[in-house]
Amino acid sequence: MGEHTPTLVLGGTGKTGSRVVRRLTERHLPVRIGSRSGGVPFDWENRETWAPALQGVRAVYVSYHPDLAAPGAPEAVGAFAELAVAQGARRLVLLSGRGEEEAQAAEEAVRASGADWTILRASWFAQNFSEGYLLDPVLAGQVVLPVGQVPEPFVDADDIADVAAAALTEDRHVGEVYELTGPRLLTFAEAVAEIGDASGRHVGLTQVSAREHAAAMLAEGVPAEVVDLLTYLFTTVLDGRNAHLGDGVRRALGRRPRDFADYARATAATGVWNI
């Protein structure tokens, strides 16, 4: 693959995309950021932005916003993948989710595109506690979620980016499906407690029903479609189906994935959880 043709990173200002951009630029590889808020204009809901973003691109990191579980996601990803291949992009690396039927439909669409593909099935991001909507509850000292004692193998976004960067630049990852998880299972209560220990603060978890959680989000002005998506992720996807470890990081990179405790300590040191 040519080193002078750019790689398009969709969601290039987001949790994983920004990290993929950083890794590619550190290797002095040309990168094009596709985003609604920076770089080359790209919007999944505006297909007129797709072709200009793909012009002259050799590979694409495909991160769908807001989530592959959203209605219409498989169709949009499939249409984008076909267009990408038609415009000369041969390699597609799809950020997918574990245990989501819609995500698997998007994976099939990418496979059917004729591209050299790699699928990254990621578990729940550790960074949701520091770079996502759970940051404010952590700062408030009380995270309120419709989750019970089902454990989750939280994955570090840095591990996702490391695997994505490798898949975008190395031929040996073509045709691979990588299950990306952390090295151990934690309940949300245990994860929140580790954040408290690392930050030197008390952070608790209160379990509520999915209905109560949805009502609270709607009262805060969260759009109904986002509430529906989060309810699906917290109830259907977090029903225990993903309560096992994947070996994707080790298979792709030859090393152990980063532990949640390491994430918590490093993140606490940045001061993001300080009041």
CATH value at residue 22: 3.40.50.720
Q: What confidence tens digit (pLDDT) does each residue in 4-29 have?
A: 799 999 999 999 999 999 999 999 99
Q: What is the pLDDT of residue 1?
A: 46
Residue 204 lies in a domain: no
Contacts of 186 (CB under 8 A, 6+ apart): 151, 152, 153, 154, 194, 260
Please count the structural domains in the chain. Answer: 1
Give the residue from 179, 195, 198, 182 showing the smallest Cα distance to 252: 179
Specify if 263 maps to a domain. Answer: no
C-alpha radius of gyration, the chain, whole number:
18
For residue 138, being part of any structural domain is answered with no
Tell me if 228 is assigned to some domain. no
pLDDT tens-digit profile of 110-154?
999 999 999 999 999 999 999 988 999 999 999 999 998 999 999
Instruction: Give yes or no for a contact between 81 and 47, defined as CB atoms under 8 angstroms apart.
Output: no
Average pLDDT over residues 164-188: 98
Residue 181 clears pLDDT 90, i.e. is over it: yes
Q: Is 47 part of a structural domain of the chain?
A: yes
- Does 2 score more than 60 pLDDT? no
Residue 194 falls within a domain, yes or no? no
Judge whether 88 lies within some domain: yes
Residues 245-271 pLDDT 10s: 999 999 999 999 999 999 999 999 999
Mean pLDDT over the full length of the chain = 95
- pLDDT for the residue numbered 133: 87
Q: What is the extent of the structural domain holding 44?
A: 7-126+154-183+244-258
Identify whether 253 is part of a domain.
yes
